């Protein structure tokens, strides 16, 4: 799976996504220290130990480099950055039964805006699955010869 590059200096506005989430009663916020074990358990259960390991890293960063989506106290999805490597977005994911409601976009935008605010000019999206999702949302472009890139020689589950 290739990596993608995003021009953070051309990032679309967060407001339409924030407004949509507000209308749907979804809270998008930075994860806090007290969320750590809930989030890691959720990521392991919905995705993998590898993603939970990367997400764990977010809780060692200051500020925590993970955003979560919550409705009625329940987690819907997450998006991290500065975990796999500095300046790398991901992992991210939404509960399969709750996809298609704008949560994935809002989480991605929240994390990308945090990366821009940190001072990064570009973001790298690591090991991309849904390339069209990122090219439409933030104008991401594929990075040539980036497979397996930074993810080589990984342990197998
Ligand atoms: C990718 C993901 C986070 C999107 O979350 P979501 O909440 O369903 O996304 P949203 O509802 O905000 O956005 C839906 C839009 O994204 C598009 N989209 C969703 N998944 C897509 C995919 N795999 N490929 C291309 N486009 C996709 C939809 O077609 C829709 O487009 P539209 O707005 O033009 O109608 C979610 O599908 C997911 O968790 N996937 C599995 C984990 C994953 O692949 N993570 C990314 C690793 S780099």
Q: Digits of tens for pLDDT over the chain (157 positions)?
A: 999 999 999 999 999 999 999 999 999 999 999 999 999 999 999 999 999 999 999 999 999 999 999 999 999 999 999 999 999 999 999 999 999 999 999 999 999 999 999 999 999 999 999 999 999 999 999 999 999 999 989 888 7
- Flag whether the pTM goes above 0.95: yes
Q: Which atom of ligand 1 is nearest to the CA of 108?
A: 3
**Ligand 1 neighbour 151 (Cβ under 6 A):** no
SS3 63: coil
Single out the residue of 30, 28, 79, 87 nearest to residue 55, CA to CA.
79
**Ligand 1 centroid, distance to 85 Cα (angstroms):** 23
Report all structural domains of the chain as residue ranges with CATH numbers, in order of start. Answer: 4-151 (3.40.630.30)
Q: How far is the C-alpha of 153 from the C-alpha of 114, rounded, in Å?
A: 30
SS3 13: coil
Ligand 1 pocket: which of 110, 127, 133 to mutate (most atoms <8 Å of CB)?
133
């Amino acid at each position: 799976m290739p990596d993608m590059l995003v021009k953070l200096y051309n990032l679309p506005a967060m407001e339409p996504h924030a407004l949509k989430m507000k209308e749907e009663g979804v809270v998008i916020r930075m994860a806090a220290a007290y969320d750590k074990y809930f989030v890691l358990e959720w990521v392991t259960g919905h995705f993998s130990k590898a993603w939970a390991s990367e997400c764990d890293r977010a809780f060692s960063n200051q500020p925590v480099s993970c955003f979560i989506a919550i409705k009625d106290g329940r987690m819907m999805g997450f998006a991290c950055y500065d975990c796999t490597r500095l300046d790398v977005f991901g992992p991210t994911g939404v509960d399969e039964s709750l996809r298609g409601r704008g949560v994935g976009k809002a989480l991605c935008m929240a994390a990308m805006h945090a990366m821009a605010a940190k001072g990064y000019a570009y973001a790298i999206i690591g090991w991309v699955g849904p390339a069209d999702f990122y090219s439409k949302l933030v104008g991401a472009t594929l990075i040539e010869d980036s497979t397996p890139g930074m993810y080589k020689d990984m342990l197998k589950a």
